[in-house]
Structure 1
Amino acid sequence: MFIFGLAVLFKLVSLQFFQGDKYRALAGERVIKNVVIPANRGNVYSLKGNLLATSIPKYDIRFDALTPTAKTFEKYVKPLSDSLSKYYGKPSGYYQNELRKARVNKNRYHLIARNVGYFDYIRLRNFPLLELGAYKGGLIVEQTTKREHPMGGIAQRSIGYERFDEKGNVTRAGIDGAFGVKYLRGTDGQRKKQQIGKGQWKPLNDANEIDPKNGYDVYTTIDVNIQDIAHHALLEQLEKYKADHGCVVVMETKTGEVRAISNLGRNSDGYYYERLNYAVGESHEPGSTFKLMALTAGIEDKVIDTSDVVDTEKGIIKFYGESVEDSHRGGYGKITVSKAFEVSSNTGIVKAIDKAYGKSPSKFVDRLYAMNLNNDLDLPIIGEPKPVIPDPRVKNGRWSGIALQWMAYGYGVSLTPLQTLTFYNAIANDGEMVKPQFLREVKEFDDVVVPFKKEVLNEQICSKETILKVKQLLKNVVEKKHGTGHRLYSENFSMAGKTGTSQKDYANKDKLSYISSFAGYFPAENPKYSCIVVIHEPDKSVGYYGADVSGPVFKRIAQKIFTDTPIIDEVKSLDVRVASVETEYESFYKTAQTYKTIMPNVVGLPAMDALALLENMQVKVKVKLEGNGIVKKQSVEQNIKLKNNQVVVLKAS
């Protein structure tokens, strides 16, 4: 017993004098802890300021039933219950019973409301008793944020996301993922919380220890009108040909700014949605669109001229026992290289390349390298694969006896749609190859933090003389009656480009399918935009040639951009107009509280209601009033970000 007593005494002394600090700190950690307050992620905007992605705050409202004194609780329990009754619709007695039960059960974490928006949060925290705050009224507020895409499914994959799982692993996609860490994420804050029960914590103070710093806003190069045109043109064609998936990219020629990027894949129910970013991340054999690269190389090296004559024979030629065939049965006979390109003769182009480079294939590969075709684009968006260009000098370089001939018409090589488009854009841009751009600038409120400028990948991919020759080839594809793209020709609008139809899974005839594509630019004489359309696995019974499947999408986009571009309802989820003016005003007010700096659509509202709504948003308003006072026009369009001290003029009649 004496020895046991000594042991207990020793342990007590050890805990008190040697390990006391450790256990006191541990006890403190279990009672009080610093909780991270996530910063609001910055918004993503279109070129013209339309909202593409935003973080919406959501709130849980809870009640610590032991915090109010007995006198305070009894004074406010009925008024609080009356307010909750009006809010939820149940009798006041129901809420009195729930609140009293919470106090009897010593519930320090009683749920009042879950996942409410900012407007409801402000309303609830001003209810009787809760308005007294955390120390007197027992109010507990927990805030989270939810990422929303006001444009819905349009360009959602390209706008992207940054997601964390329960283990902290992150998955990133698109613009949101690419620029999240550097610009959008912001800096988290801290708040002390006290443990009030098993797994239950309440804020120790009304204020944060460290306030979160919200992320910057990024302004993309996306034009929502062009994006809408591209999306629906692609969707219509995918549905018509029952294709597996497809993509469209529209790029401004001089700057490389991407005005639209749409990626649609089919689900098991047959509906199309933004499944993957095919334009950036899916590499494939381009087929006949690569004939432009092959001929540009030959013309630049002065070993091929467009006037050279090639014999397509009977539409079939063989190299090392492997056949190269034309889609046109019987071939084209003896034709110029120019016509071979225009009719997309595989045998004609292969004959020209084989004659020029058959004894020196490395020279052909070197020219492709000189035109940047072996380099990726170094995009900030994750997932871009490196191009595949076979090289006879590289071990395991995918070279074979027929590699040169296959490369001539787009087989054995592999490029993404955006890599292919970048080359076509360089031709349209008189030889200057520019990097595709997705961001215009980064802002903090109205101040530009980071501007993005044009990046040149290659100042001159080939001579001006070569550029003029291949530009004429691309123009002839559309304008000449024998050209594979002639069905796209319009007397009123000029286009230039190249069709492409490549086989997919050609080693297995049972699974043989096709990739249909069209790449080019418009207008042909003074290119403003370049564009590529790639559609995978169209229904062979309906059609699969690039001119039939992808070409019409290209034409529809080009014509709509320059002739009848619609003014679309860019962010349909923000258009909250309904029949009842009272409901309408309430909905608009919620929108204003949620999006704060985004201009709502007030057309159709009574002028006084519109005035009240906008003034609640701290906007200066001028009303030009005539007649009965219904707003007919607003000076700032719906969904445009409002500037500090901006004046909005409303015309009402």
Structure 2
Amino acid sequence: GEKNNADKYVNRLHDFFLDVPTGIEMNGEPEPYFKKPYSQEDGWSGTTLPWMAIGYELTITPLQLLAFYNAVANDGVYMKPYLVNEIQRYGITLKKYPVTEVKGRIASKKAIAKAQKMLEGVVDSVWGTAYSLRSANYRYAGKTGTAQLGYQRLENITKVKGYQASFAGYFPASNPVYSCIVLISKPKVAGTFGGQVALPVFREIADKAFASKLELYPVVNDAPRPVLASGNLPDFDAGYTKDLKKVLKKFDMDYYYRASGDWSVLHATSPDSLKIVMRTVGDNLVPNVLGMGLRDALYLLENKGLKVKVNGNYGKVKQQSIRPGTKANGQNIWIRIG
């Protein structure tokens, strides 16, 4: 590249805070390494600038790169990573550590908005390298990465000693709460590219974080209460009878119930009425857990001595591998929730 362009490029990396350690409270964080433009001592060559543009001829740690992605997710404001939020003793806070904002933005709001849109496109666009693992339950944004290790271009042959696969991103895309980076060096199974190896790990981490943090879900009751049509009444939801009654009472939903028993299932019997029907659980028999949440299903199945395998992350039981009423004798049983 031209002389001025190389200087501008490296100076821009400085604006991104990529050329300094994050300052996290951990000994041994190395300094990032960037070549000085046209420095013979650093081995600057005519190909250095294009190589740097795709991540070669420089070194930064995964955390330093993640801090940059976190700044993009934070609308351009760079925050210092930290490990400890506060110290408590017997529930009493002894010391709190303030969140530190590094002075200055890494880019203009307009530029950050464009970067966010591109990172979202990696997942949402049919041409994106993360499209195959997009989620129907939330949106995330990020970038796959694949680097060659030990690259050597000899006179008659090119040698590569391995690959490094990565995915860095954040979620939910529209209002980020988490940023995460996954880096796998010299992967040996499933492929070599970031979208094949690192992305599935990122997606599993995101799924579990999303399923365990209620704050990530949109508020569903901030509008006037709608009149439920029959198609919107709960139907075939099963569980512990007292719990079902408690939920219906909480939402002021009338129901018909004259049976008795610990376990029941809801049925929408007409356009505007609900009925609680008893579900019998026999001794030494595989129970019917269809329509139940995971907690109730595990309780019933494991108390019958069954070994439960679960497919899915949240929802109610859609399928069970052993027919209800079969004699229970310690079998393995698969249930699918969704």
TM-score (norm 2): 0.58
Counterpart code for 1:434? M
List alignment gaps of at least 5 residues for structure 2: 214-338
Residues 76 and 112, structure 2, Cα contact 8 Å, conserved in 1? yes
Partner of 2:133: 488
Partner of 2:77: 432
2:12 is the alignment partner of 1:367: yes
Counting matched residue pairs gives 210
2:183 is the alignment partner of 1:552: no
Q: Distance in 1 between matches of 2:59 and 2:14?
A: 14
Partner of 2:172: 523
Higher share in helix: 1
Residue by residue over 1:147-189, the C-alpha shift from the partner in whole angstroms, topping out at 9 and shown as x without a partner, is: xxxxxxxxxxxxxxxxxxxxxxxxxxxxxxxxxxxxxxxxxxx
Counterpart code for 2:53? A
Partner of 2:319: none
Q: Distance in 2 between matches of 1:434 and 1:408?
A: 24
Residues 499 and 519, structure 1, Cα contact 8 Å, conserved in 2? yes
Aligned-residue identity in percent: 40
Residue by residue over 1:435-474, the C-alpha shift from the partner in whole angstroms, topping out at 9 and shown as x without a partner, is: 1110112345544332111011243111000000000000
SS in 2 for 1:497: strand
Counterpart code for 1:494? R
Q: Distance in 1 between matches of 2:125 and 2:3?
A: 31
Counterpart code for 2:175? N
Residue by residue over 1:588-615, the C-alpha shift from the partner in whole angstroms, topping out at 9 and shown as x without a partner, is: xxxxxxxxxxxxxxxxxxxxxxxxxxxx
SS in 2 for 1:518: strand
Q: Distance in 1 between matches of 2:33 and 2:109?
A: 27
Q: Which one of 63, 66, 90 corresponds to residue 421 of structure 1?
A: 66
Check 1:465–1:383 CA distance in 2 against 1; reply closer, same or farther (3 A cut). same
SS in 1 for 2:105: coil
Residues 142 and 168, structure 2, Cα contact 8 Å, conserved in 1? yes
SS in 1 for 2:143: strand
SS in 1 for 2:58: coil
Residue by residue over 1:35-64, the C-alpha shift from the partner in whole angstroms, topping out at 9 and shown as x without a partner, is: xxxxxxxxxxxxxxxxxxxxxxxxxxxxxx
2:81 is the alignment partner of 1:461: no
Q: Distance in 2 between matches of 1:528 and 1:361?
A: 35
Residues 516 and 550, structure 1, Cα contact 8 Å, conserved in 2? yes
Partner of 1:538: 187
Residues 33 and 58, structure 2, Cα contact 8 Å, conserved in 1? yes
List alignment gaps of at least 5 residues for structure 1: 1-353, 566-653
SS in 1 for 2:59: coil
Q: Distance in 1 between matches of 2:10 and 2:124?
A: 31
Q: Distance in 1 between matches of 2:112 and 2:15?
A: 15
Q: Distance in 2 between matches of 1:531 and 1:398?
A: 33
Residue by residue over 1:137-156, the C-alpha shift from the partner in whole angstroms, topping out at 9 and shown as x without a partner, is: xxxxxxxxxxxxxxxxxxxx
State the shift of 1:559 in Å.
1.6
Q: Distance in 2 between matches of 1:456 and 1:399?
A: 34
Check 1:548–1:431 CA distance in 2 against 1; reply closer, same or farther (3 A cut). same
Counterpart code for 1:406? W
Q: Distance in 1 between matches of 2:39 and 2:80?
A: 27
Check 1:420–1:398 CA distance in 2 against 1; reply closer, same or farther (3 A cut). farther
Larger Rg: 1
Partner of 2:286: none
Q: Which has the higher contact order (CA 8 A, sep 6+)?
A: 1
Residues 119 and 143, structure 2, Cα contact 8 Å, conserved in 1? yes
Q: Distance in 1 between matches of 2:212 and 2:95?
A: 34
